[in-house]
Every structure is written in structure tokens, then in C-alpha cells.
Structure 1
């Protein structure tokens, strides 16, 4: 299992950073290799990715979500992929975004990439692109302020 931990500070309020992160269908704008994300329900997303020429499609469930605090997910089919993104206010107009991702490289290329840190570098670049995306816009493209605990939305 490969583990990736990366952090970026963005110059927008915590609500703006968090709200943008809940817009999964916008991920292809700043995540290289993410071709498409479809929000199927409040807690289920379908991902299409292409990394190092390997195309994958998988579903991921939101297992924990608390506004301005955390979004966590886990794959629900053959691909082993899980993660957690936390948000910490650094002041009125600045936020620390921290990612923790766990995944199981399957192909030879993925295993080599994980071994030499290519996946770490990719996540770091994606977070920098998220920073550029949200700081340039200064506002989120949408928001979902609901909560999810144990994979179940809380009304």
C-alpha cells in the first residue's frame, strides 16, 4: 500500500477552500490524470483516471464529511484507493489543506512510480494547481455543506 501525505496553504478563507473541494466534478481542472468525476449521489462518485497510460474507472464513497473540517473517501470496487483531506484556518483569509492518500499500485509502472515517489510529486503538483485554481477564482464554483458520518449523510 502506497501512502501520500502533502500539504498546501491557499490564500482564501477556509469556507471557500472547503466548498471548492466538495465540487468533485471540477477535479479534472486541477488534478492531472483525472479525466472525469461524476457525482452519483451525496456520498457516491464515479472516477475515470488515466495515469502513466493506465486507464481506470472506479466508484468512491464519501465516508466522512464535516463542513470546513474534513472530506474522506474510500473506493467501493476493485481499485484500492482511500483518502482524507483536512482544512485548517490559518487566519481570516488563508487555509492549510492537508491530504492523506492510500492506494494499492497494481501495474509494474504504478509500483515503480510509487517506489520512486512519482505519486507524491503528482499530488504535490495537483495541490499547487488547486491553489492556483481557487486563488485565481477567489470564489468556489459551488458547495455542498452537508455532513456524512460512517458513509451516511446527516440531515
Structure 2
């Protein structure tokens, strides 16, 4: 079951300044709680690492529409399923309304519980308030990108159906040790500090280092940690800031 979040904040800063600051996507961790890192892969691609509902998640968002001083709309194409839009409108010569609409798909027990407790919705409200304080305290943007993406296409506010390519891809982030620990917990397998098998667990191994299946554990080593987008040759990263 998807969840929709809709929040608005009025910022006491002119429209262009507010919009310009929002386009500095890599600075989002300064005011967005739980967001660890945002990397601009291309003009229309952003890689996110964040904690959602107590789970570290990763996703790549595609910007579907970007109109200067008006709108930024996106949908995930990999990882955690989410989509939405942020719109900007003037409220007088020195005030701007920022309106966020977002839809996401909770995955797993922790995120479902967080959804029922409205944790993500509350976080979105706090993030907008933090952005307001951030830009009002500066009084000016730290950078700007005035380029447009699909301007004139009149893309509606995207929903999770626009992020269909990410369905079933939890985008969970973790190293091999974390995944192995989670697997052993699920199986009820424990080792003591000497590395001996836990009670009730039997291991078959001969001098060749093969277990009962005829395979070594190291034969799967190339799969460890194989969730890193850096290894994808089709992704070209952009170096440096945007101004």
C-alpha cells in the first residue's frame, strides 16, 4: 500500500533565490534528516543514500520535469520506490511558497511500522522547516542551476506508478558482514568466539577446503557487496559542484 505525503512551507526569501538553492541537490543532507548523501550523476539523475523507517536505503531518481522558478518532478528508476514533485510560487516580492508532494512504497516490517506512525510524513515537514531556516539564515543561494528538463511537457505530479522500474527493489544498503549477520539471525545459527559450530549445527569439510556441497565459501566472494552503483559502467558521475 502506497503512502502520499503533502506539505507546504512559506519562506521569507524571493522566489528565484529559493529555487536556486533547491537545485543544489548535493547540499540536501544539510537540512534533510536521514539523508546521508545525494550525488548528481547527470543533469537528470540523482543518487540518494538515506535512512527511511530505520533502514538505510539507496535509490537513483530521474528528474522527469524541471522548470526554473516553478517545479522539479522526479521518480525513482532504481532502489527504494518513490516519486513526487516540489513546486515553487511567489507570495509577494520577497516570499515564496514551497509545496512538496511525494508518494512512496513502504517495504518490510520497519518501514510499514514507520509509515503507520507517520514518521516519514513528520520528517518531510521538518525537512521543509529546516530548509526554510537554512535559506533564510543565509539570505542568498549557495549556488544555482537554471537549466530546464522537459519544460513544456506539463508532467503531472508523478506517483509510484512512474517508479515502476524500481518495484521490488528494496535498495537496502549494507556490507557483506551485515547481510551475513542478518542471514545467520534468520537461520538461528550462532558461533562462539573460537569459531566453533554452534550446538546443533554440523559442518562437513575435508582437507581440500570444500564443504558438503563441493563449493568453497570464497567462491561467492565476487557477489559480496554487489549493490554498489559505482560498479555500473552505464552510470557517468559528474565531478564538482553546480553553479
Scaled to the shorter chain, the TM-score interval is: over 0.9
Aligned to 1:39: 40
- Over aligned residue pairs, what C-alpha RMSD do you find? 1.3
In the TM superposition, what are the counterparts of 1:2-81 in structure 2 within 5 Å?
A: 2-81=3-82
Distance 2:8 2:84 in 1: 13
1:106 CA displacement: 0.4
Aligned pair count?
A: 151
Q: Contact 2:52–2:120 (CA<8 Å) still a contact in 1?
A: no
1:53 CA displacement: 3.2
Q: Deviations over 1:89-146 (max 9, x none)?
A: 0011100000000100102121122122211111000000000000001111111111
| 1:52 to 1:117, Cα distance in 2 relative to 1, 3 A | closer
Q: Deviations over 1:5-58 (max 9, x none)?
A: 000000000001111111100000000010000001100011011234311111
- Which blocks of at least 5 consecutive residues in structure 2 are unaligned? 156-243
- Where relative contact order (Cα < 8 A, 6+ residues apart) is larger, the structure is 1
Q: Choose 1 or 2 for highest CA Rg.
A: 2
Distance 1:102 1:52 in 2: 15
Q: Deviations over 1:59-85 (max 9, x none)?
A: 101110000000011101132111100
> So what's the TM-score if we normalise by structure 2?
0.60
> So what's the TM-score if we normalise by structure 1?
0.93
